[in-house]
Structure 1
Amino acid sequence: MQTIFVNIKCELGKAYEVADQAVQTVEQVSEVHSTSGQYDLMLKCFLGDQDDIGHFVTDSIQTLPGVKDTFTIVAYKAFN
């Protein structure tokens, strides 16, 4: 299992719509948080070990209506 975080910059006034679409239509999305700063949303996603992160982000996240830009972070280990 691969964990990635995708920060999203949305078109003005579209953050809530993008968040709703991500939760409703992308099964790999676990959590969506609104954030302050350069990006509007942060998605936590779980992908299979063989899934291609680049294809997932470009095909499933960047194509959501209202998404202007993304920044992807690959997580290596979760500490509990």
Structure 2
Amino acid sequence: MQAIFVQFKCRPGKAYAVASALVETVEEISEVYSTSGQYDLIAKFYLEAGRDIGHFVTERLQVLDGVSDTFTTVAFKAFGRA
């Protein structure tokens, strides 16, 4: 599985609706958080190995009503306590 993080800039007043739509319609989502700063939300997704990240983001996420911009970060390794 490949983990990616996507930050979402939402149209004014739409952040909570976008967060709800992500949780309700995107099965690959792990979690979503509201944030402050340049972006309104950040979400973590797990994609199958070899899946086209660009198609996933542009065809499944950027088309959600209320999304005005995204920024995607690909994660390589998770670190944690043993």
TM range (shorter): over 0.9
Measure the CA separation in 2 of the matches of 1:21 and 1:52: 21
TM-superposition CA deviations, 1:4-50 (whole Å, max 9, x none): 00000000000000000000000001100000100000010000002
Measure the CA separation in 2 of the matches of 1:29 and 1:11: 21
Aligned residue type for 1:26: V
The equivalent of 2:34 in structure 1 is 34
Tell me the secondary structure at the aligned position of residue 39 of structure 1: coil
Aligned residue type for 2:47: L
Computing the radius of gyration from Cα coordinates, the structure with the larger value is 2
The equivalent of 1:74 in structure 2 is 74
Task: Tell me the TM-score normalised to structure 1 length.
Answer: 0.98
Measure the CA separation in 1 of the matches of 2:16 and 2:65: 11
Structure 1: gaps (5+ residues): none
Sequence identity percentage: 62
Matched, 1:46 2:46: yes
Measure the CA separation in 1 of the matches of 2:60 and 2:26: 7
Task: Tell me the TM-score normalised to structure 2 length.
Answer: 0.96
Tell me the secondary structure at the aligned position of residue 77 of structure 1: coil
Structure 2: gaps (5+ residues): none
